[in-house]
Amino acid sequence: MAKNKKKKKNPAFGVTFSPNSPDREVVTEPTNAIGRYLLVGAGLGGYMGYFFAPSEEIGTELSFGGPIMLGILVIVGYVIFMLFRKPRPAIKDFIVEALFTGTLAMAFLIALEFRRIIYVSNGRWMTFLYGLAIGLALGVGMYFREQIRAR
């Protein structure tokens, strides 16, 4: 009779492996991806909100030209980067992912433009909380981008 060997779990890496199998099959377990993306987004947004220092000529004029141009630059850079990737994705997936990534970057940069108004009217801590909320929204967007990529 063969003994039933239980698979051991390695909690440090979140994988399950069978130590006695000849090919040492590795099975990854589902991870908390949304939590990771929210944490990264909150960190970026909180940093952008807390360490915001307005220029000396503080005002409430908003400029959307820069964020829109940078969003378009993100789309162009993404397209160039993906053209050199060897297993190229299907053209439909390629276009959807490029537009989603560029739109996400553009929305984040446009939202950061509003920090100046928040800072003038409410101060540093409200700017921090605003940046944190924007970062959390960015994390959710990155998670959905990953879900689109997984399909």
For the stretch 141-151, pLDDT in tens is 888 888 877 77
Could you read off the pLDDT of 94-128 as tens digits, one per residue?
888 888 888 888 998 888 888 888 888 888 899 99
**What does the DSSP 8-state code read for residue 95?**
H
Q: Is the pLDDT of residue 10 over 80?
A: no
- Residue with the bigger pLDDT between 36 and 54: it is 36
Q: Determine what percent of the chain is predicted with pLDDT higher than 70.
A: 75
Q: What is this structure's pTM?
A: 0.67
Query: Edge-to-edge, what's the strand order for the sheet holding 8-10?
Result: 8-10, 15-17, 26-28
Q: Is the pLDDT of residue 33 over 70?
A: yes
Backbone angles phi, psi at 16, to 5 degrees: -110, 135
Residue 48, CA distances (Å) to 56, 99, 113, 125, 131 in order:
18, 24, 11, 12, 6
Q: Is the pLDDT of residue 129 over 80?
A: yes
Say what the pLDDT of residue 9 is.
47
d(CA 94, CA 2): 50
Say what the pLDDT of residue 133 is.
94
Say what the pLDDT of residue 98 is.
85
Say what the pLDDT of residue 96 is.
84
Question: In the predicted model, what is the mean pLDDT of residues 27-39?
Answer: 74
- Residue with the bigger pLDDT between 24 and 35: it is 35
Say what the pLDDT of residue 24 is.
54
Instruction: Give the helix ranges, DSSP H, for the chain.
Output: 33-50, 65-83, 91-113, 115-122, 124-150
Could you read off the pLDDT of 64-93 as tens digits, one per residue?
888 889 889 988 988 888 888 778 778 888
